[in-house]
Amino acid sequence: MPYHWQSKSVKASGVEDMVLLTKIQESAIVENLKKRFLDDQIYTYIGPVLVAVNPFKSLPYFTDKEVDVYQGAALYENPPHIYALADAMYRSMMSDWEKQCIIISGESGAGKTVSAKFIMSYLAKVSGGGQHVQKVKDVILKSNPLLEAFGNARTVRNNNSSRFGKYVEIQFGRGGQPDGGKISNFLLEKSRVVSQNAQERNFHVFYQLCYGASSEDKEQLGLTSPDYYYYLNQSGLYVVDGIDDVQEYHDTRTAMDVIGISSDEQAEVLSIVAGVLHLGNITFIESGNYAVPADDEFLAFPAYLLGVNDMLLKSKLTSRIIDTKWGAKTESVTMTLNVEQALYTRDALAKALYARLFDFLVKAVNQAMQKERDDTSIGILDIYGFEIFQRNGFEQFCINFVNEKLQQIFIELTLKAEQEEYVEEGIKWNPIEYFNNKVVCDLIESKKPPGIMSVLDDICATMHAQSEGADGKLLEKLGHANLPGQQHYVGFSAGFTVHHYAGKVTYEADGFCEKNRDVLFKDIIELMQSSQQ
């Protein structure tokens, strides 16, 4: 059935606000959402909360017509829509002159990033004008394709999965016009730079560059097809349905122009991206119990692109300077690395370069729309969705912990607060039982008694993250610890299972200690400080 703007005399598909359901049960909620979804009505309210079901197709509900329908209308005057939520938030900010915030939560692939873009687009359309304001709007909207290029990737759950969290704060002047903004980013999944699971991709920008750059740029950067690069060919997936890497490369370059990144800076950004790819093709062989590059020729291009000496790059990848103390005397000793340690150092450099490049881009966006005084603002939190894969590691553990905290906030602001208000007002009603996930948050983050994170930090502080057995020691210590929320934890020989609010997730402990420490050795820092770029 085509979507239409219903008058109150027209029977709706299902119930538009699920607080009106006669029975508040999971089966009734799911049935209602299903009924509406089959009629292409993807939005449903639960009081002030908007539930969105990803249709995995384009729907014609986001045009200027819908903007006109929802602008200034009461929340329940029209069918549920994300524009209604955005408009209510905007009008609350203007009438009360208070900061507003919207939290977008859901599993990976639920459509959180698209929802965030709809909200930003709506606010840009209904707010004031002027040359400066239009510049700020352009930067806010163009920051999306830029940060998605460098921060999103194809996973088994989602072709355009956000692999970082971001909090976008749009600042408004007294007239209701956006006149500034700020983006805070966190938890970039930089481990994806050096390895991906089967049927996944690295960050979009690598493929955009390989497919979309001009012949001259490819020659300058030494680029060829993605299957040539170790950092791209591990998963065997290069092209994704629905993603036009050539067009999106041009969108990324346009976004850089709008944000004000100069041509020289853009060239340096692309050099670093290409340099990371070339770094991944440096391999090592064992020679007399220490590592040497399998072919020195593979050092030349990454060294050139990163502006460092190729022999210095070779030295820093295969050896490390360690300061030792003998009483009051300190000596520097050069330690040669084995193949495994050299590969770790190579990957650590690649991840650090990419993470710092991403921070530079976020800083460039913020500089383009920064404002001295913060009058009021609307914040939009768009973060990784809850993830349950076939193999779950440290990254999924961190992602799911953040989602666990968001769930706790949701419980505090809705279920708990609502029921407390009923009690205060003396309203007779039957209390609704719900699972308070604070016990799971404590299991992960508690300091006393120590939770999983505290035990992990303790192991990393007392053992070398790369030392054999660090992850095993972690599991052993977790098994003997009196963890808070112990009933939500089950350990086994290779990892552990946590019973989250969204279900049980089994994590493989391999790499937990190494990734938690995330060490970048001084030698590598000094190498990059010598760069001529």
Give 355-365 pLDDT, tens digit per residue.
999 999 999 99
Span 45-80, pLDDT tens digits? 988 889 999 998 989 999 999 999 999 999 889 999
Does 421 participate in catalysis according to the annotation? no
Residue 243's CB is within 10 A of a number of other CB atoms, namely 16
Place of tokens 């990454």: 302
* pLDDT at position 9 over 60: no
Q: Are 395 and 176 a contacting pair, CB within 8 Å?
A: no
Pick from 81-95, 310-324, 420-434: least confident: 420-434
DSSP state of 203: B
Residue 402's CB is within 10 A of a number of other CB atoms, namely 16
Does 387 participate in catalysis according to the annotation? yes
Span 315-352, pLDDT tens digits? 999 998 877 666 667 777 888 999 999 999 999 999 99
Looking at 385, 393, 485, 495, which residue is catalytic?
385
Pick from 236-245, 315-324, 458-467, 518-527: least confident: 458-467
Does 287 participate in catalysis according to the annotation? no
In order, the DSSP letters of 117-182 are HHHHHHHHHHS---HHHHHHHHHHHHHHHHHHHHHEE--SS-TTEE-SEEEEEEEE-TTS-EEEEE
pLDDT: which is higher, 413 or 207: 207
Residue 363: the pLDDT is 97
Q: pTM for the complete prediction?
A: 0.89
Nearest-angstrom CA–CA distance, 433 and 277: 52
Does 222 participate in catalysis according to the annotation? no
For the chain, the structural domain boundaries read 18-191+372-382, 197-265, 397-517
> Looking at the domain 197-265, which fold is it?
Arc Repressor Mutant, subunit A (1.10.10)
Residue 400: the pLDDT is 95
Kindly state the tokens that stand for 421. Answer: 């208000």
HSE, CB side, 13 Å, CA atoms: give it for residue 253.
16
Looking at 113, 152, 318, 377, which residue is catalytic?
113
Instruction: Determine the Cα angle at 103 with ends 98 and 106, to 5°.
Output: 170
Looking at 105, 108, 115, 281, which residue is catalytic?
108
> Looking at the domain 397-517, which fold is it?
Methane Monooxygenase Hydroxylase; Chain G, domain 1 (1.20.58)
Does 366 participate in catalysis according to the annotation? no
* pLDDT at position 467 over 70: no
Looking at 32, 127, 152, 158, which residue is catalytic?
158
Residue 402: the pLDDT is 93
Does 159 participate in catalysis according to the annotation? no
* pLDDT at position 2 over 80: no
* pLDDT at position 289 over 70: yes
Does 107 participate in catalysis according to the annotation? no
Nearest-angstrom CA–CA distance, 280 and 196: 13
Nearest-angstrom CA–CA distance, 208 and 360: 19
Looking at 162, 318, 400, 403, which residue is catalytic?
162
**Band of the pLDDT at 492, cuts 50, 70, 90?**
very high
In order, the DSSP letters of 323-356 are EEEETTEEEEEEEE--HHHHHHHHHHHHHHHHHH
Does 113 participate in catalysis according to the annotation? yes
Q: Are 169 and 183 a contacting pair, CB within 8 Å?
A: yes
**Band of the pLDDT at 5, cuts 50, 70, 90?**
very low
Bridge partner list, 325? 330
Pick from 8-17, 124-133, 154-163: least confident: 8-17
The domain made up of 18-191+372-382 is a member of CATH 3.40.850.10: yes
Residue 485's CB is within 10 A of a number of other CB atoms, namely 19
Looking at 16, 148, 189, 387, which residue is catalytic?
387
* pLDDT at position 91 over 90: yes
